[in-house]
Amino acid sequence: MKKIIVFISIVLSLASCSNEDSDMIAIDNPEIALNIPSDFPKLNAFVSQNKPTKYGVELGEKLFADKRFSADNTISCSSCHIQANAFTDQHAQAVGIEGRIGLRNTPSIQNLAFMKFYNWDGSKLQLENQPLVPIITHEEMDSSILDVINKIKDDAVYKDLFKKAFGDESVTPDKIYKSIAQFEYTLISANSKYDKVKRKETSFTESELQGFQTFQQKCASCHATELFTDQSFRNIGFPLNTDTNEAGRGRVTGIPSDFMSFRVPSLRNVEYTAPYGSFGQFSNLRAVLDYFDNGVLDADNLDPIFKENGKRIPLTEQEKDNLIAFMKTLSDTQFVGK
Ligand code: HEC
Ligand code: HEC
């Protein structure tokens, strides 16, 4: 509903009798209060410079689902980031226009307002700088921001939304990036069984509890904090992506000690995000745990936690069952719309 702040125009017309500039009519576009769960890490500093608003988020959500972002109008952001899969796509490596296969597995889009680094290699530090990457990437949307703007700029629904969100109907790259980021900032998952147990609304089964204990001993040093990632980059000896473009964090820093290191993934909603690993090496959670147990690949920069423990995380079959039961308590059915 439009609420036109009439008094602004009254004040203006008093100040200057000739001013009838209709742009001065402000549309009520309230900020959306982010529901920040207790114990979460602090917000990424950029959120305060682009606070989600009612229409900013609505616009961002619409853009996120718009297939005109791709050269041939077949792929939207949400083609790869599907809500029911916690905003992933079930492919080992992302599939873009014309069936082109990308370098990496699609990560979930959740709790990004609390992250300091984006992408597997942390190549982006600010969410507003991210959307251009898929738009121009050959294996993703293979388009350009000018093409996208040309396709949507005369759409009446967009004109209205851009105006409501940003005060005027012009469609600019900056507004596109900002509104998509605003939408993403609102994607907060913190209502899993694990969260409910923490809030003392329910309790773990025996198996989940045992899994939680094993998790704290053997996994939580990296899958730390309420995000279940400490946001560090580590080489944990997963099977290697032989694509010559892949170097993990080393791609960003150029430092040998970062070669094939990847950002520790959040394990929230991990039940919905198979396959696993930076290029989907593992089809299910059991396969990841079997791999840890059997032993990982050695490397000069293999993480000390593995290096100093015989390059493996020993796990009994019972521990694996319990760990999987625990990881499934991180599923937030409300978040994935189930
Ligand atoms: C073809 C599939 C595909 C499309 C289309 C796509 N993405 Fe992604 N997205 C990916 C992959 C793969 C990555 C990981 C890239 C990397 O690590 O280098 C990713 C990473 C991201 C991230 C970082 C998530 C994190 O956990 O750090 C965000 C945010 C994101 N995409 C948003 C978008 C937006 C917004 C669009 C539309 C403008 C979009 N994506 C389109 C596959 C896709
Ligand atoms: C030394 C840090 C470290 C430890 C300890 C660790 N992980 Fe991870 N984990 C990572 C990193 C880094 C990745 C991503 C690696 C890659 O793709 O190359 C990962 C990936 C995963 C994945 C795949 C997630 C996805 O979305 O692709 C799962 C599941 C997982 N870990 C579970 C566990 C469990 C369970 C334990 C304990 C038994 C554990 N991890 C111990 C760092 C660690």
- What digits encode the pLDDT tens for the residues 242-299? 999 999 999 999 999 999 999 999 999 999 999 999 999 999 999 999 999 999 999 9
pLDDT over 70 at 18, yes or no: no
Average pLDDT, the chain: 93
Tokens encoding 136: 């121009």
pLDDT over 50 at 231, yes or no: yes
Q: Long-range CB contacts (< 8 A, 24+ apart) of 331-334?
A: 331/192, 331/193, 331/269, 331/270, 331/271, 331/272, 332/189, 332/190, 332/191, 332/192, 332/195, 332/268, 332/269, 334/191
pLDDT for res 27:
72
> CB–CB of 30/53 below 8 Å?
yes
pLDDT confidence of 132, banded at 50, 70, 90? very high
> CB–CB of 181/171 below 8 Å?
no
pLDDT confidence of 25, banded at 50, 70, 90? low
Instruction: Report CA-CA distances (Å) from 276 to 41, 104, 139, 254.
Output: 24, 10, 20, 25
> CB–CB of 210/316 below 8 Å?
no
pLDDT over 50 at 11, yes or no: no
pLDDT for res 17:
41
Percent of the chain at pLDDT above 70? 92
pLDDT for res 93:
98
Q: Separation of 106 CA from ligand 1 center, angstroms?
A: 6
Q: Separation of 83 CA from ligand 2 center, angstroms?
A: 22
- Tell whether ligand 1 has an atom less than 6 A from the beta carbon of residue 80: yes
Residue 336: other Cβ atoms inside 10 A: 20
Mutate to test the pocket of ligand 2, among 89, 109, 120, 222 (most ligand atoms within 8 A of CB): 222
- Tell whether ligand 2 has an atom less than 6 A from the beta carbon of residue 247: no
Model confidence pLDDT, tens digit, residues 294-332 = 999 999 999 999 999 999 999 999 999 999 999 999 999
- Tell whether ligand 1 has an atom less than 6 A from the beta carbon of residue 130: yes
pLDDT for res 12:
39
pLDDT for res 248:
98
- Closest residue to atom 11 of ligand 1, CA basis: 106
How large is the average pLDDT for residues 226-246?
Answer: 97
pLDDT over 70 at 207, yes or no: yes
> CB–CB of 262/302 below 8 Å?
no
